[in-house]
Amino acid sequence: MRELSIILLVLLFSFTISCQSDSGREMADLVLVNGIVWTVNPSQPWAEAVALKGDKILEVSSSREIMRMIGEKTKVIDLNGDMVLPGFIDSHNHFIHGGFSLLSIRLREVKSREEFASRIKNKVKKIEKGEWILKGDWDHQQFKPPELPRKEWIDEVTVHNPVCVNRYDGHMVLANSLALKLAGITKDTLSPEGGEILKDPETGEPTGILKDAAMDLVMRHIPEPSIKEKIKAAEVALRHAAEKGVTSVHDMAYAGNFEVYQELLRVNRLTARLYVYIPITEVELYERLKLKTPFGNNFLKIGGLKGFVDGSLGSSTALFFKPYADNPETRGLFHSQMFPEGIMEHRVMQADRAGLQVAIHAIGDRANHVLLDIFERVIAQNGERNRRWRIEHAQHLLPEDIERIAKLKIIASVQPYHAIDDGRWAEKKIGRKRCQYTYAFKSLLEKGTVLACGSDWTVAPLDPLTGIYAAVTRQTLDGKNPGGWFPEQKISLEDAIKGYTLNGAYAEFSEHLKGSVERGKLADLVVLSRNIFEIPAEEIQKTEVKMTIFNGRIIGRK
């Protein structure tokens, strides 16, 4: 069968070339034929082939039709049955941080205090005295037994190097004694509002663990990387994204990232489209500029404003109505951006009046509830419009707030991988009942809410296929939930793919430009080694990205 189809292909190919001149038909620059294309376009869900011209999709159709667009200069790719999807859009990412973390120390897989110390010791050997050791992404839940790291584990090997390595969720760091000294943190230092300096219950000395706002006490002493270093990190991140089929990224940024992306754009080395959020604390600057978002071109846009209501579940700083099951002393914390009281509402109001999109981080049920109250009041005051406001994470929800999210047309910006990761220990932290509406993707969808999916890289891997696998299986990483953790919240493969493509485009006001394989849209595609609709769901994450096409150009190929 295959040989026959190749012969036919060649015949058709030569026929097409011979008659191109008199047909006057537009010829493609690149065609992909003999594939299985799931387009995410409801009016033409399936196709066999795609033709690209310049930076756009010229046509989506059968191989036979597409081969009529092959001219003398057309590059032809025979997909041989491989699957094509729209290029993936990662709707929540810390992109340059991710690049730095690919370049820096890795503590993510560490399972013991000895290994923790030895990796840090090895790093010290490779750097100069006085240089900081940063990032790391450690996960104390993996330690045996699970325990928070302490400065004493590493002080001996880091006498001349300040250390500030973060938990993978970014809501806790471990600082060594030198870093604490530089920050002036002693046993007498009080925890700042929205943060905590952990202290030894016996000696009262800081253990080195700093949570949320307390992290700033040390972090403000870390020298800012140079623009050259940031560009290097961004390029490493872009290469990694291309390998994973990611062609668009929503960067939950720090204000300083723009010059990096602008420089990469100038030298034509941006291989993903960046939609960049700026901290909501900068809202007045936007107001003064009278700048409406999104603003920019198809490669680089200023998106909206990113804010925080609370912390994270793993750090016990996500804000709940009821106490944590494993620590009845706490219900979590409001983020420092919530102080003084009323400031968040004021800023959202300012942003909305200025015509700006907001994307606000809320994890605990109370954080989400408080945020929805704010949204409700601002909408009531400013009236209806096409806002596309987003809640980042929308992780633990009261059932009635799932309704409210839909009613207020808020986009739920979710990260399915967190469900299979946190699912290992979330019940211990907050009990089974609250977990029923944790990562409640299905319930959100059923009410009509748009789910924009992302990774939250480096909290989770920058890998949409693993995210899709997580959303459709909910099989926790420890293998203890083969049928899925709260399986009623599993979503369909179609919905999961849509979450990583068209819905991501919607979340940045760009669904007319990208997010589906459709004539006239930007030529961003991913080619997979297998038809993920026909394999067991468990194998989706093992599927390979064979090729990534960005802006009509092949940027990654296996």
Q: How far is the CB of 457 from Zn ion (least distance, A)?
A: 9
User: From residue 94 to residue 133, what is the string marking binding to Zn ion with x (rule CB under 5 A)?
Assistant: ----------------------------------------
Q: What is the secondary structure of 489-546 as a DSSP string?
A: G---HHHHHHHTTHHHHHTTT-TTTSSS--TTSB--EEEESS-TTSS-GGGGGG--EE
Q: How far is the CB of 499 from Zn ion (least distance, A)?
A: 16
Q: Tell me the site size for Zn ion, rule CB under 5 A.
A: 2
CA dihedral 214, 220, 223, 224 (to 10 degrees): 100
Phi-psi region of 24 (alpha: psi -120 to 50; beta: other; left: phi over 0): left
Considering the complex, state which of residue 154 and residue 394 has its C-beta at the smaller distance from Zn ion.
Answer: 394
Task: Provide the H-helix boundaries in 147-254.
Answer: 177-183, 215-219, 227-243
Q: How far is the CB of 349 from Zn ion (least distance, A)?
A: 24
* Residue 291: alpha-carbon gap to chain centroid: 25
The span from the CA of 526 to the CA of 86, in Å, is 6
Residue with the two structure tokens 């920019």: 296
The piece of 97-105, 210-218, 232-240, 246-254 that touches Zn ion (CB under 5 A) is: 246-254
CB 516 within 8 A of CB 248: no
Considering the complex, state which of residue 35 and residue 170 has its C-beta at the smaller distance from Zn ion.
Answer: 170
Considering the complex, state which of residue 82 and residue 251 has its C-beta at the smaller distance from Zn ion.
Answer: 251
The piece of 63-71, 197-205, 379-387, 448-456 that touches Zn ion (CB under 5 A) is: 448-456
- Asked whether position 422 contacts Zn ion by CB under 5 A, the answer is no
Please, which residues bridge with residue 548 across strands? 526, 556
Burial track 40-70 (b if 16+ CB lie within 10 A, e otherwise): bbeeeeebbbbbbbebbbbbbbebeebbbbb
Considering the complex, state which of residue 454 and residue 552 has its C-beta at the smaller distance from Zn ion.
Answer: 454
Considering the complex, state which of residue 169 and residue 518 has its C-beta at the smaller distance from Zn ion.
Answer: 169
Considering the complex, state which of residue 180 and residue 313 has its C-beta at the smaller distance from Zn ion.
Answer: 313
Run of H or E residues at 477 = none
- A 10 A CB-CB count for 537 gives 17
- Max CA separation in the chain (angstroms): 88
Rounded to 5 degrees, φ, ψ at 40 are 65, 20
Considering the complex, state which of residue 207 and residue 395 has its C-beta at the smaller distance from Zn ion.
Answer: 395
User: From residue 158 to residue 197, what is the string marking binding to Zn ion with x (rule CB under 5 A)?
Assistant: ----------------------------------------
The piece of 248-256, 397-405, 483-491, 530-538 that touches Zn ion (CB under 5 A) is: 248-256
* Residue 48: alpha-carbon gap to chain centroid: 30
Considering the complex, state which of residue 252 and residue 470 has its C-beta at the smaller distance from Zn ion.
Answer: 252
Considering the complex, state which of residue 252 and residue 305 has its C-beta at the smaller distance from Zn ion.
Answer: 252
The piece of 172-180, 249-257, 440-448, 465-473 that touches Zn ion (CB under 5 A) is: 249-257
Q: How far is the CB of 462 from Zn ion (least distance, A)?
A: 12
Q: How far is the CB of 270 from Zn ion (least distance, A)?
A: 21
The span from the CA of 245 to the CA of 35, in Å, is 17
Q: How far is the CB of 254 from Zn ion (least distance, A)?
A: 12
Run of H or E residues at 192 = none
Q: How far is the CB of 171 from Zn ion (least distance, A)?
A: 10
Q: Where in 454-483 is the site for Zn ion (CB under 5 A)?
A: 456
Binding site for Zn ion (CB under 5 A): 252, 456
